[in-house]
Chain A
Amino acid sequence: GAVVSQHPSWVICKSGTSVKIECRSLDFQATTMFWYRQFPKQSLMLMATSNEGSKATYEQGVEKDKFLINHASLTLSTLTVTSAHPEDSSFYICSATAGTDNSPLHFGNGTRLTVT
């Protein structure tokens, strides 16, 4: 079946540094990718929608300059957390879809970010 690979699975960084998270669709062309944030024991919150070749659409309250999203190809989207702070520590998950009617949504395994 379709697989979405998310890398790294976990990362620890110092406050003030930037971290890049990759989301790759391994066996299908993902016209649309989504980025979510999940706090402990809570649900997923959509951060942004990323369409290949265009700017990401951010949800209300999500800082565009802090969470940079790039979707340069049909198989890769990246989320860069810039100038990370401890409050950015969270579980980040991506999902991808081919975008046709009823096309399924496939999730990556998530990235655990810890900012010290």
Chain B
Amino acid sequence: AQSVTQLDSQVPVFEEAPVELRCNYSSSVSVYLFWYVQYPNQGLQLLLKYLSGSTLVKGINGFEAEFNKSQTSFHLRKPSVHISDTAEYFCAVSDREPNAGKSTFGDGTTLTVKP
């Protein structure tokens, strides 16, 4: 069984400040890890994913995440946020299947970027 914990339900931050959205997971097997962004009344858009290899993963829109196996974490970071980054962010974990459709999703973190 897998589980995902997003440690912060809401993260308010000022524009151009750095941000970190925290995600911890548990799994008995090796995993794929994902971060998605969801804008209001829309589906999810993949920001980045970790499958294997380098633990630092770079994604779209200037986001990056670091896989830490010992701490079972996959925190999402951006050095300088924009107003347009305001959205809901979901961390997800999947076992090593060909696809990620059966991922377990975290409860989400609402990022609010203030001017």
Contacts and interface: CB of A to CB of B under 8 A. Distances in A.
A108 B42 CA distance: 8
B102 to A, nearest CB: 6
Given A105-B46, A109-B42, A112-B41, A43 B90 contact: yes
Interface string B24-65: 000000000000100001111110000100000000000000
A34 B94 CA distance: 14
Nearest to B105: A43
B98 interface: yes
A110 B105 contact: no
Interface string A84-116: 000000010111010111111101111010000
B100 A110 contact: no
A6 interface: yes
Max chain B Cβ within 10 angstroms of own Cβ: one of A46, A95, A105: A105
Interface residues of B, number: 20
A100 B83 CA distance: 36
B113 to A, nearest CB: 18
B43 A99 contact: no
A32 B99 contact: yes
Given A44-B44, A109-B42, A95 B101 contact: yes
A32 B97 CA distance: 13
B43 A107 contact: yes
A100 B98 contact: yes
B43 A104 contact: no
B62 to A, nearest CB: 18
Determine the interface band of chain A, counting residues with CB < 8 A from chain B. Answer: 20 to 34
Nearest to B106: A43
Nearest to A97: B99
Contacts of A102: 51, 98
A44 B105 contact: yes
Given A6-B43, A104-B46, A34 B90 contact: no
A108 B108 contact: no
A28 B4 CA distance: 30
B51 to A, nearest CB: 6
Given A42-B107, A43-B107, A110 B42 contact: yes
